[in-house]
Amino acid sequence: MNVPTVGVFALQGDFREHHRMLRRLGVDTTTVRTPEQLADVDGLVIPGGESTTIGKLAHRFGLVDPLKERISEGLPVFGTCAGLIFLATDVNGSDQHVLGALDVVVERNAFGRQNESFEAVLDVKGLDEPYDAVFIRAPWIDKVGSGVDVLAEIDDHVVMVGQGNILATAFHPELTADQRVHILFVDMIT
């Protein structure tokens, strides 16, 4: 079996942590900052960070149209926190740049500001045991489209979804030792 190459969108955010997690799983990783680098990957992680900045930089570096094209062609994509926001079709009360690839409406900073970050135990569809999730200035998903599968909720707020070739979380699985959410993503590629 060929080892997939997963690109980690590295314009801004915690991309290094995703590289480390994926490499622990035996996956080859590469940094994606250009359309040419995007063309050579079997999957893509869009990390947490600052969603407005990620969107602006993606436009500046000519990545928006290539991203939309690769996702529509079936490229497996995993967005965490800001990555979830960037993948969404809409963000409540904001006109920030989004890809519109994931049929959800997102509420930014829904759980509060940085000092209100927290950890929570989640029941995640597809995982046998509860998952300890890290939420940092996290969004939640306010509305989901009919083709979106809700995978986890906290206090009646959706925090993890799947839609075809897209997996997205409001939390940061790269900041834990638990590899299971990344395994779910890698399984989408292989």
Decide if pLDDT at 2 tops 80: no
Mean pLDDT of 59-64: 95
> What is the reported pLDDT for 94?
81
Tell me the residue type at 20.
R
Mean pLDDT (whole number) for 97-124: 89
Question: Which is catalytic among the residues 18, 19, 81, 97?
Answer: 81
Question: How deeply is 53 buried, as exposed, middle or buried, from its count of CB atoms within 10 A (0-12, 13-18, 19+)?
Answer: middle
Mean of the per-residue pLDDT values of the chain: 93
Lowest mean pLDDT among 44-48, 74-78, 100-104, 111-115: 111-115
Tell me: pLDDT of 70 over 70: yes
Q: Which residues pair with 90 in a beta bridge?
A: 105
Query: In terms of CATH architecture, what is 5-189?
Result: 3-Layer(aba) Sandwich (3.40)
User: What pLDDT does 125 receive?
Assistant: 97
- Tell me, yes or no, if 18 is annotated catalytic: no
pLDDT digits (tens, 9 = 90+) for 158-168: 999 999 999 99
Q: Where are the domains of the chain?
A: 5-189
Give the pLDDT confidence of 166-182 residue by residue, as tens digits: 999 999 999 999 999 99
Give the rounded percent of residues in the chain with a pLDDT score beyond 90: 82
Burial status of residue 151 (CB atoms within 10 A of its CB: 0-12, 13-18, 19 or more): buried
- How many CB atoms lie under 10 A from the CB of residue 92? 13
Encoding tokens for residue 186? 């890698």
Q: Which of 18, 19, 97, 172 is catalytic?
A: 172
Average pLDDT over residues 111-140: 90
What's the mean pLDDT in 75-82?
96
Q: Is 174 a catalytic residue?
A: yes
Is 107 assigned a catalytic role? no
Q: How confident is the model at residue 97 (pLDDT cuts 50, 70, 90)?
A: confident
